Amino acid sequence: MTTLSIIVLSYNTKDYLKQTLSSIKKNKNWQIIVVDNNSKDGSAKMVEKKFSHVKLIHNQKNLGFAGGNNVGIKTAKGKYIMLLNSDTQIVDNALEDLITYLNNHQDVGAITPKFVLPNGSIDLACHRGFPTPWNALSYFLKLEQLFPNFNFFAGYHRTWEDFNTTHQVEVISAGAMMVRKEVIDTIGLLDERFFLYAEDIDWCKRIHDAGWKIIYHPKATIIHHKSKSGKTKEDLSAHQTKSVSKYHFFNTMKQYYDKHFTHHPKWLKKFVKFGIEFFSGGAKNKR
């Protein structure tokens, strides 16, 4: 039986993708799948040439983060499925540590390692609370930064908790997320209405609502080089890339709010939408 299926979504990150795949230990019980979202930098050819043991799926267009990963999930055969960004590095036995934890804790539906940046600081995307309107407002007003040890203000990244101990959280990053296949069979695939961002928040919400625990496990570590997708000479300029990324970030906030807060009264919905638009600064999709 295949223990683990690792899905690496690729979009114009050839050099980082090579580094990511090189950091994954070969294991006969693991399946490695690269889903290429129609990269223009030769990523697919590099995988074919240098990683013959990897299953390569080459999409004919960019399906976005959720759509691309769903292609891989449908092909996955593992008991556990790992979503892994193409700009990451596995440290030591991180994947084995995550598998062991899931084997020993049957009530855990999803788990993340400690996701760290190259400078050693934690990537807070791996340790979050649900983005309630208050949590989001506290984050954008920088109250979380001012009062990181107060859960009333720091609910978005839960910075009052000990990042060196294993504990339950609400949201983890799809950049390094291991999920039981059983959970996916129950709650469904990533929601493809989210082209970029919020798909992992939505998935975690559905995992949580289905009664499973979500765990942050710092014994395992993965390095994240962060935000490298799409940055090629042939692609958008740095300014355009940032603008498009900002647009998707705030647009998916609206989509997530519309999906999970239908019970809010109209006046509150209008207030929240105004707030999202205000903090977005009118970001547009220029692509």
Measure CA 176 to chain center. 6
pLDDT at 63 over 80: yes
CB 183 within 8 A of CB 79: no
Q: What is the pLDDT of residue 266?
A: 84
Lowest mean pLDDT among 92-101, 155-164, 220-229: 220-229
Tell me the chain's radius of gyration from C-alpha atoms: 19
Q: What is the pLDDT of residue 285?
A: 55
Domain ranges of the chain: 4-127+163-224, 238-280
**What's the rounded mean pLDDT across residues 55-68?**
94
Per residue in 186-240, pLDDT (tens digit) is 999 999 988 877 899 999 999 999 999 999 999 999 999 976 554 444 444 343 4
Q: What is the pLDDT of residue 172?
A: 97
Average predicted confidence (pLDDT) for the chain: 89
Alpha-carbon torsion 31, 63, 66, 155, what sign?
positive
Backbone angles phi, psi at 145, to 5 degrees: -70, -35
**What's the rounded mean pLDDT across residues 108-137?**
94
Give the confidence band of 248 by pLDDT, cuts at 50, 70, 90. low
**Could you tell me where the beta strands, DSSP code E, fall in the chain?**
4-10, 30-36, 55-58, 80-85, 88-90, 108-116, 167-168, 176-180, 213-224
CB 72 within 8 A of CB 184: no
pLDDT at 241 over 50: no
C-alpha closest to that of 10 among 52, 68, 50: 68
CATH architecture of the domain with range 4-127+163-224: Alpha-Beta Complex (3.90)
